[in-house]
Structures are given as C-alpha cells and as structure tokens.
Amino acid sequence: MFISVGRFSETMESGKPVGNTNPRLEFTKAMFRKYYSKANVQPPGKLINREFGVITERGGMWRHLGFGTPDELQNFLKKQAPIHAYHSSAYYTKPNARTMDEKTWLGADLIFDLDADHIQGSENMTIEMMFEKVKVQFKKLVHSYLLDDFGFDENDVKIVFSGGRGYHAHVSNEKVLRLNSHERREIVDYITKPSTNIDTLVRKVIFSNERFKDHDNKKYIYRLYPRDTPGWRGKVTASVLDFIDRTEKMPKENVIDELESHRGIGDTLALKIYNSMYLGKPGDRGIDKMRSDLNLEPFGEDSVRNSFINHIVKEMTVDLGGETDEPVTSDIKRLIRLPGSVHGKTGLVVRTMTVEELNGFLPLRDSVWPGFEKSTVKLMGLEDYEVKLKNTVFKVKKDTETEVPEYAALFLLGQKKCDIRI
C-alpha cells in the first residue's frame, strides 16, 4: 500500500500542493507522529532534574522543558512529534527555568560523543564503512578506557547509538557527577593526547656503568614496563604484545603497509621496523625477545624503536573528532540525543544497548523501527546513491523515480538523496 497521511496524501493524490505545504516535511512529520503514537520512550534517570529540548518541523530549538513524570514526557512527544529530541547531561533543581543561574546545576553525567563523519578519512568512505570505523574507536573507548583504566562498572556506562552517524557513552557515577569542565577536559586529554616522550612510556635500564677519567660511562637498554602496570605504560606493553600476536603470521607486505599508514613512517623505516622484529629463526627473532623479557633492544636504532612505539600509541588513542566532538565531554550543560527518539536526518531510532550488545549491533539494520516497514513511497532521485538498510540494498538514480519502504524513504529524504515530487 502507499502512504496516506492527512494533507500529505491529499497533496500526492491531487498532484498539486495544498497551501504552502512542503511534501518532504509533511511526510517526515506524518511518520514521526505514527512513531510517537506507538513508541514507549523510556525517560533518562532522574527525570525531574533533567532539561529537555526539541526541534519541531517549524525549526529552531525549543528548550528549557521539564517533565515531572514519564507520562508527561510521553504525552508531549506524542503531541509534538519532534524532528529531533534531546535531554541534558546535567541535573538541575529547576530544569525548566529560563536561565542557567535559576536552574541551579547539581552535577552532570560524563558524556562521550563519537561521530563517524569526524573520523580521519571519512570523506572517502561509504556510510557503512564509516559506521565500522567509528565502532572500532568507540569499543576502544569503552573497553580500554572507561572499563579498564577508569574502572567503571558496565552498569555505570550506557551505550547509545545516536540515530545519526555515531555513538554516545553516558557515564552515570557519583565519582564523575560533580567534575567541572577542566577536570573533564583532563579525562579527554588522557584518552586522546598521551605523552609523546618515549622515556615516559618505556623503561630505561642501566646495564653497565664504567668510570673513565672520573666520568661515569653509563649504557642503557630499553624495556617495556610489565603488562599490569597502571596507566599508559601498561597499555603500551599490552598493545605491543597484541601487535606481535596479530601480525606474526601476516604477510610481510601487509605488516609494512600497516606501519606505513602511520604518519612519519615511510618505506625505509617500515622495513627497518619489520626486520628488527621478524628476521631470524623462531626463538631468536626480535619479537621472541620482546615476549620473553620485554626487551626493545632488537630495534637497535633509537629512531626505529621510537617510531614503532609512536605507531603503537597512535593506534591506542581514541579519535574523538578533535575540536568537533571533544567539547561534548567537557561541557557540563550539554544537551544530548534522547534515547528512544527518532533522528530527523535518518529516520533511525536512537538506540540504547549493553556493552555486550554493541558487538553485533549494525545501525542500518537494527535501528529501523518495524512500523516503518509496511507501506511504500515513491521518490525522485537527486543524485546516484546506494545504501543498505535492513539487509536490503536500495539504489537511486538522479532524476529517476523509485519506490521504497517508509524507512528507506525517511533515510533518503533526510540525507537529501531523494525528494518527493508533486
């Protein structure tokens, strides 16, 4: 069947616009009304202390909203069917007050926001590839930092697919509640900007100390710290050993290609790193010495060793999108996407999941609302484009009509790949 909702259907059936309607907006609004009339949006914790904000089809942010009960929030969403919906990371005494001073800040969750289109090289990726890349970064953030380094319990960390192009991590824990912006910025810096001074990341051990003409002639060897050493030192060791395990049986050219992907490592240096690690008989190779006593001497030259460690450190850091996404974490009054709402630029549901569920989660498959699967819509392509939604590949061509399910129509219209012609 074809979509038939209010004035939108009248416009489509007559072939003429009704008043000053915008068919694209009319369709989106009709779909969102359908969603919010049936969806049960779970409110964030401490509902009465949260500020809410929405963007409706009229545009502009409508904020300073507060709700006393889940039913109040649900009824508001049903009535307004917002194109975008948000809640504050902060808790306030009076969240619906018009000024921040009147609200009285009580604390805030620690929020991390990773967007796929802010990942380096994303401009040359398909949306599916971007989602894969940002998920790698996000899992690194959750497991290596939030759970391992900072010691948060999985129950403290709420994982949310934004409905757009990335993931959010909400940390709700008394230890972070009252952190100010500067303290939150230090957390970001720990994750994204580790020391580039190799001497702070590996051990410099004296192995001989000879005196010559009243001068000490010390010689040093470099070793990794024990794997269980707290902080970046232990992380470097774990990552070096993981790198060895992962690359030991890889073809030589693949390992060199991976090393060359790091800025500052060219053909010659990559080959030196490879030879330092893998040349020789099993048991006598550089990697064998690294495994047995964490010895970095197989690299020989300081520049070779330091370049390899810098490559490891770069792989360990989390790309939070630089100046685009990092401020989200340090902002103690930020509005963030409301889980359970629908994203106006994709038609995808803002989904909450557990750490375990993240592994198998595919945004373009798992965030489609089943209620958008029953009817079809005719669209006109604005450009050649292809996307896979719900395990189905949809291809549109410029200036060519195509018929797709509602969920695909919402996505294609929101991404401005198609339009509804009247």
Return d(Cα 104, Cα 75) in angstroms, integer: 26
Q: Which of 109, 113, 288, 331 is catalytic?
A: 113
Residue 123's alpha-carbon distances to 127, 183, 235, in angstroms, are: 10, 33, 31
Q: Has 109 been annotated as catalytic?
A: no
With tokens 């073809």, the residue in question is 251
Q: Of 117, 149, 325, 419, which residue is the catalytic one?
A: 325
Of 171, 131, 124, give the one whose Cα is nearest residue 152.
171
Residue type, 243: F
SS (H, E, C) the chain: CECCCHHHHHHHHHCCCCCCCCHHHHHHHHHHHHHHHHCCCCCCCCHHHCCEEEECCCCCEEEEECCCCHHHHHHHHHHHCCCEEEEECEEECCCCCCCHHHHCEEEECEEEEEEHHHCCCHHHCCHHHHHHHHHHHHHHHHHHHHHHHCCCCHHHEEEEECCCCEEEEEECCHHHHCCCHHHHHHHHHHHHCCCCCHHHCCEEEEEEEEEECCEEEEEEEEECCCCCCCHHHHHHHHHHHHHHHHHCCCCHHHHHHHHHCCCCCCHHHHHHHHHHHHCCCCCCCHHHHHHHHCECHHHCCHHHHHHHHHHHHHHHCCCCCCCCCHHHHHCCCCEEECCCCECCCCCCECEEECHHHHCCCCHHHHCCCHHHCCCEEEEEECCCEEEEECCEEEEECECCEEEEEHHHHHHHHHCCCEECCC
Please say whether the beta carbons of 221 and 235 come within 8 A.
Answer: no
Tell me, yes or no, if 216 is annotated catalytic: no
Question: 246-251: long-range contacts (C-beta < 8 A, 24 or more apart)?
Answer: 248/278, 248/287
- Catalytic residue flag (residue 284): no
Q: What is the amino acid identity at position 185?
A: R
Active-site residue, selected from the candidate residues 109, 115, 156, 288: 115
Catalytic residues: 113, 115, 325
